Amino acid sequence: MSSDLIGTWLAATLTLAIFSFLYRDNPLYRAAEHVYVGISAGFAVIYAWAFDVYPMLVESFKVHLGAKNYFEAYILIIPALLGVAMLLRSIPKLTWISRWPISFTIGIGAGLGLIAAIQGYLLPQIFDTLRPLININNAIIYIGVITTLTYFYFSREHKGLTGTVARIGIIFIMVAFGASFGYTVMARVSLLIGRFYFLFHDWLPLIR
């Protein structure tokens, strides 16, 4: 039996085990779930080592040390120590040490996330809002932005004209939420179709 055939049967078995949850929770589903989580965690560790730790720490240290850039080489010891300190979270008496690297990680992540949000979402939204009113699409953008911002303006009670504009903003918000939800559902449906195609094409050659 070839390795491809073994892999196909293994993948089909795990897929059917996951689908068995549609009936009810059972040991087959839990076993497949644990296998999936374990493989994902193992892959994440290998990926972090192969693409982050080894090239950015080990290889960089060797390169800088070989080029006699001692400061650039030994400065890498700091992130290495922070990484080791983060692993101390699993030791109850040394958990407090892991708070330092975690705080650095959260702070850096928050800063980068803020910049990414401003450059990737806020500024493009502002630029798109400042388009000239030359067609219906730009007018809809203006109306949507103004009415949505009015809905989130809580310093004045939503009555009269303000209430009417705010209710129009609710319509735009619901349309945005609906489109986002529909996109998410279609992405999941695409994955489901891919699994069914695998089962009926690769595993059981019922379709060509």
| Residue at 57 is within a domain | no
- pLDDT for position 124: 87
| Residue at 164 is within a domain | yes
CB-CB contact of 130 with 145 (8 Å): no
Q: Does residue 163 surpass a pLDDT of 70? A: yes
| Residue at 120 is within a domain | no
- pLDDT for position 208: 74
1, with CB counted inside 10 A (0-12, 13-18, 19+), is exposed
Q: Does residue 14 surpass a pLDDT of 90? A: yes
How far from 112 is each of 57, 72, 86, 109, CA to CA, in Å?
21, 24, 20, 5
| Residue at 150 is within a domain | yes
3-state secondary structure at position 35: helix
Mean pLDDT highest for which of 74-88, 132-146, 165-179? 165-179
CB-CB contact of 145 with 136 (8 Å): no
- pLDDT for position 1: 59
| Residue at 182 is within a domain | yes
Q: Taking residues 74-85, what's their average pLDDT?
A: 92
Mean pLDDT of the chain: 91
CB-CB contact of 101 with 85 (8 Å): yes
Number of domains in the chain: 1
| Residue at 136 is within a domain | yes
Residue 203 belongs to domain spanning: 131-208
| Residue at 162 is within a domain | yes
| Residue at 149 is within a domain | yes
